[in-house]
Chains A and B, each alone.
Chain A
Amino acid sequence: MIESRRPYWLLSVVSVVGFFAIWHVITVAQLAPANLLPSMTQVWDAFVDVLHNGYRETTLWQNAAATLGRCLAGFGLAAVTGVPLGLWMGRSPALAASIDWIIQFMRPLPPLSYMVLLILWLGTGDTSKVALLFLAAFPTIAMAATAGVRGVNQQRIHAALACGASPQQVFRHVVLPSCLPTVMTGLRISLAVTFTTVVAAELMTASDGLGWMVFSASHFLRTDIVMLGILILGLLGMALSRALLSLDLWLVHWRGRE
């Protein structure tokens, strides 16, 4: 509550440096067994090794590409279908009434629970994973789009109609810009869900991907690669959410100025 101009980012830096210092001290003083807590240099060596030689015949790039590819395929499919359907549901109460109950049932279901079923139906390959990610992302996106359309100020629509706009023009120039902030929020939430889910799915059944790499390394007690994987996944998650946030700010530059 007390505002001041002290450089708080310095404290953040000190805090992160402190974390790594504690890690370093623990490993140097051998307070923890090396196979449980590898040193920073070991993790760095693992990084260089995985980058150049790969892990069990797959390079780091291949694994990262596999994870991101699945994630974006499932998310993209859900966005391409969920946004139009949600917009349509927002316009048509009858359609909303027909579909909403399915979405409401899907939403609280943890995605991994129906992964078992998808594997049974579609096999263990990428099809079942992309289907899983699609189903994980779809309800949030469709719901956000529906809510966005429903939340459009009716006076604006009436004003545009009174000025002689056609229904298409009203949709394109009034409804779409007004509901875009909500749609983008839905997309951001569901991308985070998709990223979490893809890693879980890769732990369950996969032969490449970052989740698989961490899973496989943990079996061989390669804690250095496990920690490396966690670091990469964390940074990747941050990058993904940042990327969509800046897309949001750039695309919906009118957010919050209504």
Chain B
Amino acid sequence: MPRRLPLRACTALSAAVLIAAWLVLTWGGYVRDLFLPPPGELWDGFMDLLTDGYRNRTLLEHLEASLWRIFAGFVTGAVAGTLLGLAMGYWRAVEAIFTPYIEFLRPLPQLAYLLLLIIWFGIGETSKIILLFLAALPVSAVAARDGVRNVPLQRIHAARSLGASEWQIFRHVILPSALPEIFTGARIAVGVVYGTLIAAEIIAGSSGLGWMILDAGRFLRSDYVFVGIILIGLMGLALNWALVALETRVVHWAGR
């Protein structure tokens, strides 16, 4: 591919321009450090956070707090949602019963019911994990339902004419066919859960990365805010990569 190099050069050039603009703006004194910290200060801020932590907790503890909430909320929500979605795809009656709730919950901004959950369960971990559970549930349910719905009927008929029982059809035909869509749903769900968690930590938290940048913003420590945003972005990427890796291992037949 002879065109490969110039395209890379385009990316490098645009990144270089952006970084140069940052350097000129900060070192030239055009903007105050408060609004846009120079690279040196950003690095110092990162080292500070790494060695001293933020507000009596190390950076790792904040990371761990966020990750634990994601894990607990996402796993419970995705498992429950997938089971519900499979049932909804398989039985029309189950679908008819649960569709109103799923359709209501799906476009509902998650943070709106966070406040109700806080009133009911207090401001601690329980309300956050239930929030994430409710955020993941409809996404996973819709993906699993559509996965079951999109199984080619010929496959089911073929299996049935070969004498497979209903359970065998479900286990060996429907589930493998639906699994790629279930995983796509899980990846969307983890994105939703992550975004919701950061928002929840910003609005009602006392630990975690989201809370850290909010608190740093209050004290105008924009270096910490920047480091926090970069870390949040990297963690989002890592979560997505982890799920993609899991997906390629489990659903190795996808696309074939």
User: Which residues does A use to contact B, with CB under 8 Å?
Assistant: 1-4, 6, 8-12, 14-16, 19, 36, 93-95, 97-102, 105, 108-117, 119-121, 192, 195-200, 203-204, 210-211, 214-215, 218, 221, 223, 226-227, 229-230, 233-234, 237-238, 240-241
CA distance A230 to B104 in the complex (A): 10
A233 to chain B, nearest CB (A): 5
Q: How far is the CB of B178 from chain A (nearest CB, A)?
A: 12
Residues of chain B within 8 A of A95, CB atoms compared? 10
Number of interface residues of B (CB under 8 A): 64
Whether B203 pairs with A1 at a CB distance below 8 angstroms is: no
Q: Which of A14, A94, A100 gathers the greatest number of chain B CB atoms within 10 Å?
A: A94
- Cβ of A98 and Cβ of B13 under 8 Å apart? yes
The answer on a CB contact under 8 Å between B116 and A112 is: no
When C-beta atoms are compared, the residue in chain B nearest to A233 turns out to be B112
Q: Shortest Cβ distance from A13 into chain B, in angstroms?
A: 9
B252 within 8 A of A: no
A93 to B3, Cβ gap below 8 A?
A: yes
| Chain A nearest Cβ from B246, distance in angstroms | 17
- Cβ B107 vs Cβ A120 within 8 A: no
Is residue B142 within 8 Å, beta carbon to beta carbon, of the partner chain? no
The answer to whether residues A227 and B116 also contact, given A116-B217, A192-B107, A203-B111 and a CB cut-off of 8 A, is yes
Contact in complex: A117, B96 (CB < 8 Å): no
The 10 closest A-B pairs by CB, nearest first: A237-B107, A108-B236, A199-B109, A11-B96, A98-B14, A116-B217, A97-B10, A110-B195, A218-B115, A110-B198
Closest CB in chain A relative to B241 CB, distance in Å? 10
Beyond A8-B92, A10-B96, 11 additional contacts (C-beta under 8 Å) are: A4-B92, A12-B97, A12-B99, A15-B100, A97-B14, A110-B236, A113-B232, A195-B109, A218-B119, A230-B116, A234-B104
Partner-A contacts on B (CB < 8 A): 3, 6-8, 10-11, 13-15, 18, 34-35, 90, 92-93, 95-101, 103-113, 115-116, 118-120, 156, 174, 191, 194-195, 197-199, 202-203, 210, 213-214, 216-217, 220, 222, 225-226, 228-229, 232-233, 236-237, 240
Q: How far is the CB of A90 from chain B (nearest CB, A)?
A: 14
Note all chain B residues with C-beta closer than 8 A to A113. 198, 202, 210, 213, 228-229, 232-233
Nearest to A4 among chain B residues (CB) is B92
CA distance A116 to B225 in the complex (A): 8
Evaluate whether A229 and B112 lie within 8 angstroms (CB atoms) in the complex, with A100-B11, A117-B217 already known.
Answer: yes
Please tell me if the beta carbons of A97 and B116 are within 8 angstroms of each other in the complex: no
Task: Determine the residue in chain A with the shortest Cβ distance to B148.
Answer: A1
Query: Contact: B7 with A93, CB < 8 Å?
Result: yes
- Residue among B11, B116, B191 making CB contact with A108, cutoff 8 Å: B191
Q: Are A199 and B112 in contact (CB under 8 A)?
A: yes
Give the chain B neighbours of A8 by CB distance below 8 A.
92-93, 95-96
A-B CB contact pairs (8 Å), 27 listed: A3-B92, A8-B92, A9-B96, A11-B93, A12-B99, A12-B100, A14-B97, A15-B98, A15-B100, A97-B14, A99-B14, A105-B233, A108-B236, A110-B194, A110-B197, A112-B195, A113-B198, A116-B213, A117-B217, A121-B35, A195-B107, A195-B109, A200-B199, A226-B116, A233-B108, A237-B106, A237-B109
Q: Decide if B113 touches A230 in the complex (CB within 8 Å).
A: yes
The answer to whether B118 and A203 have CB atoms under 8 Å apart is: no
Contact B226 A215 (CB under 8 A): no
Contact B107 A115 (CB under 8 A): no
Complex alpha-carbon distance, A121 and B213, angstroms: 15
Contacts of B111 in A (CB 8 A): 196, 199-200, 203, 211
Nearest CB of B to A210, in Å: 8
